[in-house]
Structure 1
């Protein structure tokens, strides 16, 4: 599949956009008119630069408000179009995008539209240009791609075809199956964008909230499957208007964009393969097939001085396995929950989650897939007797290790006895239940796409959680069997002290450990001096009102600062520790198949943490 991207998707100058697109691996670009008009590069310079970068210049856009206008305006539009055709000749672009009219001067007359589109195509033919006519979702009279196609068919000119844009089609809920009735050679261009489902006027939705494929809720593989069956074999190009993307780093946005198209291509190929389709005119490549991860192998925390974290782990009942043979790295374990403390390259670093290990069936294949999805490999120097671990970097910098087993644990020595050995049934059954990662605002959608495409985690519906700092957007990513659970939080920046006027980053992250009997475990931790996050009395009064709990259980919850939730499957008990640096721990117990994360308690946790930060 030939991939493309519109320059409007990216930040920076036209030259920066072209270089970023080429570096990310795109085959071509759409030149957005504003990017060219504001550039210091001449059209000839742009053409040469694209050629040097190995980029095709696939489309010039947009040409607006052309069709169904009075004769005098039509003639003026032809003069305007001819100037653009000459410009396209200098650029070396042979296709122009013409949008359906949204102006007030348009006339509702299909015969007039057909006549004027034919005249435009005739003029374009003299310059070697093809016209791709597109129905805008907010077009005054033409807002349906089938209507646009009928006009193209009636105009009957070899230089006139249609452009199919996923946003304009799917935002209006149009049926996509009729795409297959359009001859592939008359589809001159295909643009794709995803979007979250919003209750918003379609123009505002389009201009600000489009995202890359896989970051929204449109069924793009189904759409692209119809396009492939129609016989289309041209570029599949991204056209995404998004305020965040146009402020973010141009190179990483281009990589994110390319990843989205690669994953869309694979999902379309899989959909076609499941339907027993033969090969299409547009080749659809696939990636190495890998199974979803089956568990969380370990979590790593990096810190220059981990003493406070070691004390917290000991109070939680973790035991030190030992130092690594060759690296300044220590391993702490509690049952099957493994925490790595990394001092390597940690000068000036406060404790924070730096790496996650995922159990996978084939680590080499999983790493190869990740790299093809434009993930950056993480180099890990190893001695001859050490495990070779495959790892790539997530968008927020977290290192993602792909582990086939736990043989690497032997590199840390035999370890010491756990404080719980012989005293509790908790230790052998403990495991990492989920990880909660904070995400910078400009990379949140990128992170969702990364974990969806690279690790096959399924995004659940996002939730907004209130906190004293503002709303926190929370996105759960998990495998279908819930063996891996990851929560991504988009936390706000807050002014934590109005007197000093300092800004504090509230990206606290945590590791959640599951144990079989939380009340017994919590009492043991309390006995070891573990600092629990203090829960206000008002929470327990509200809990008593919401649930008919046994008074003895409620008293125990209150005594140990435990939180409680219930769903239609079961019950949930959990507590939080105080934070060390930007990391803290949660300990949970899932009873009778409880499937959530205690979401109703999240505002309580945020408020308690905010109060603790203010008290420092």
Structure 2
């Protein structure tokens, strides 16, 4: 695809725990002009459980059948599934049994991607607090193993690796790009996310103003490097997301504080927003990041509007519709602000 189109992850329009079904989420997306879908594993899992009318853990066949049904729903609604996500907790595992188990899980995910008829699996950098190594040779070997597995299936599957802002060993895009270069496989590239980039380089939820002291300069330099160094063909997906400016530092005593969890992860899980939602407290310079990737680097594919929020668990039957409307409105604002009609 060589043009910008609106997409959304299923998890950004509702949560199974809130009673939001995959049917409601997909219908809400279609009704608001969203055409691209990132299917989240939790959506397949909850759909498989509902289809079986059982609380038991679904079998792999149950999961594959649920994925096929989701694909059929999307086809009926005119939606394109382009990503399955997130394949987490993989690279750098130090326990050989844990690694073997993760590779077996990957084989199942390749089958799920085939059932969904999508060719990208998104992978966040590992953020386990223990049991991992950041040794680059080990990480590269791990990534080559699954990249080669993904090349061997028909059709081949691409891996979009994302450095999350709370990653244990890899938390900035430069590190994920170094991994991609060293893996050196035609199906291994990047997922770039405006939240993870800005939250790590520009922001600090543990400070009163929510910012790093040298954030503006650091982000500007980071974006110059991105435009100069990254191979556009290796940018497989782009997610746009902002976050609320908190009223007080995210430290012990804050209502959202979670002991033992990195503050940027806590912030992400509870207070992410769609772009240009200043009315809800959005304050990250995500347009600066988006401009670098789209206007300057030249990215032309799905623009995925991603959010995580404590509100997504609310038992509100209208929530998927409300969130889809917000995603579409946010996308329109970004389009106008960055003058994408002139690209």
Using structure 2 for the length normalisation, give the TM-score. 0.76
The yes-or-no answer on 1:265 pairing with 2:335 is yes
Over the residues paired in the alignment, what is the CA RMSD in angstroms?
Answer: 1.5
CA distances 1:243-281 after superposition (whole Å, capped 9, x unpaired): 224435221221111110111122112xxxxxxxxxxxx
> Counterpart of 2:333 in 1: which secondary structure?
helix
In the alignment, the residues of structure 2 paired with residue 172 and residue 252 of structure 1 have an alpha-carbon distance, to the nearest angstrom, of 29
> Counterpart of 1:170 in 2: which secondary structure?
helix
**Aligned-pair distance for 1:177?**
2.8
- Structure 1 residue aligned with 2:231: 183
Task: Tell me, yes or no, if the aligned pair for 2:27 and 2:77 is still in contact at 8 Å.
Answer: yes
In the alignment, the residues of structure 2 paired with residue 113 and residue 232 of structure 1 have an alpha-carbon distance, to the nearest angstrom, of 27
> For 1:38, which of 46, 52, 76 is the aligned residue?
46
Task: Tell me, yes or no, if the aligned pair for 2:195 and 2:286 is still in contact at 8 Å.
Answer: no
**Structure number with larger C-alpha Rg:** 1
User: Larger RCO: Structure 1 or Structure 2 (Cα < 8 Å, ≥ 6 residues apart)?
Assistant: 2
The yes-or-no answer on 1:29 pairing with 2:37 is yes
1:345-424 aligned within 5 A: none
Higher strand share: 1
**Aligned-pair distance for 1:239?**
1.8
**Aligned-pair distance for 1:193?**
0.7
The yes-or-no answer on 1:140 pairing with 2:210 is no
> Counterpart of 2:310 in 1: which secondary structure?
coil
CA distances 1:537-577 after superposition (whole Å, capped 9, x unpaired): xxxxxxxxxxxxxxxxxxxxxxxxxxxxxxxxxxxxxxxxx
Unaligned runs of 5+ in 1: 270-283, 287-616
In the alignment, the residues of structure 2 paired with residue 153 and residue 264 of structure 1 have an alpha-carbon distance, to the nearest angstrom, of 30
In the alignment, the residues of structure 2 paired with residue 262 and residue 219 of structure 1 have an alpha-carbon distance, to the nearest angstrom, of 17
In the alignment, the residues of structure 2 paired with residue 44 and residue 6 of structure 1 have an alpha-carbon distance, to the nearest angstrom, of 17
Higher helix share: 2
- Structure 2 residue aligned with 1:209: 271
Cα distance, 1:245–1:266 mapped onto 2, change above 3 Å: farther
In the alignment, the residues of structure 2 paired with residue 65 and residue 253 of structure 1 have an alpha-carbon distance, to the nearest angstrom, of 28
- Structure 1 residue aligned with 2:341: 285
> For 2:183, which of 140, 145, 155 is the aligned residue?
155
CA distances 1:284-323 after superposition (whole Å, capped 9, x unpaired): 237xxxxxxxxxxxxxxxxxxxxxxxxxxxxxxxxxxxxx
Aligned pair count? 272
> Counterpart of 1:172 in 2: which secondary structure?
helix
1:481-492 aligned within 5 A: none
> Counterpart of 2:149 in 1: which secondary structure?
helix
Cα distance, 1:246–1:263 mapped onto 2, change above 3 Å: farther
In the alignment, the residues of structure 2 paired with residue 285 and residue 118 of structure 1 have an alpha-carbon distance, to the nearest angstrom, of 39
Using structure 1 for the length normalisation, give the TM-score. 0.43
